[in-house]
Amino acid sequence: MVKDRYDIVVLISGRGSNLRALVKHLQAANSAATVSAVVSDRADAAGLRFAEEEGIPTCVVPRNSKTLNNQEFNSVLADAVNRLKPDLVVLAGFMRIVTKEFLQRFPNKVVNIHPSLLPAFRGLHAQRRALESGVRLAGCTVHYVAEEVDAGPIIAQAAVPVLPGDDEDSLGERILAAEHKLLPAAVLAISEGLVTIEHSGKSAKVRLDASLSTDPDAKLASIGGTL
């Protein structure tokens, strides 16, 4: 069932270009889904300034490793996010590892964007490692978050070529441009109830509604293709 209101809480640590792309895309699509709050572990995250300019409430949950271990940080973070009553939590450049306990508070509601074609190049510096490995296709993935870092049922992927002469910056920019289209398309599809997680034993994968394959705006059918 599509709700009248669909509240998205975005977690960031830095620049927030994916946050910006998501906010702008949802506005342009006149969607019932809106970014209703932005949470950061860093008060100096540039994305917070963008949110403030847009009138989106912000909240900082600082991570001071001297006073909080990661479990404690996640508990404070989960309380802060829970108060915002999200329909969906989007990790968009959030540089902290969320724990099992955090995920249990928001079952099937936490998604992440990662700058590689998962399961390749999990973790940090995915773009650099793609370049170093000699792959000809790089890209990005939107996935539900599982306990293991950069793992969980894949919702959508977009591929970009690795071109001769690429360095980390040029490849990173090409991937980022794809991220800015893929994340909003995936979030919109989730908010419209077009994305389902199917469990089979211990594994889980995502089923996309058939309508997405014919929807030129959704672009989720472009798995393995270009955006």
Q: Which of 114, 125, 143, 180 is catalytic?
A: 114
Q: Is 92 in the site for ligand GRF (CB under 6 A)?
A: yes
Could you tell me the smallest distance in angstroms from the CB atom of residue 38 to ligand GRF?
Answer: 11
The answer to whether 199 is a known catalytic residue is no
Which residue lies nearest ligand GRF, judged by its C-beta? 93
**In terms of CB distance, is 17 or 191 closer to ligand GRF?**
17
Q: Is 40 in the site for ligand GRF (CB under 6 A)?
A: no
Could you tell me the smallest distance in angstroms from the CB atom of residue 9 to ligand GRF?
Answer: 15
Segment 43 to 62, residues that bind ligand GRF, using CB under 6 A: 47
DSSP one-letter string for the chain: ---S-EEEEEEESS--HHHHHHHHHHHHTT-SEEEEEEEES-TT-HHHHHHHHTT--EEE----TTT--HHHHHHHHHHHHHHT--SEEEESS--SPPPHHHHHHSTT-EEEEESS-TTSS-SS-HHHHHHHHT-SEEEEEEEE--SSTT-S-EEEEEEEEPPTT--HHHHHHHHHHHHHHHHHHHHHHHHTT-EEEEEETTEEEEEE-GGGGG-TTT-GGGTTS--
* Stretch near ligand GRF under the rule CB under 6 A, chosen from 9-17, 55-63, 66-74, 209-217: 9-17
**In terms of CB distance, is 109 or 114 closer to ligand GRF?**
114
The set of catalytic residues is 114
Which residues would be at the binding site for ligand GRF (CB under 6 A)?
12, 14-18, 47, 92-93, 113-115, 176, 179
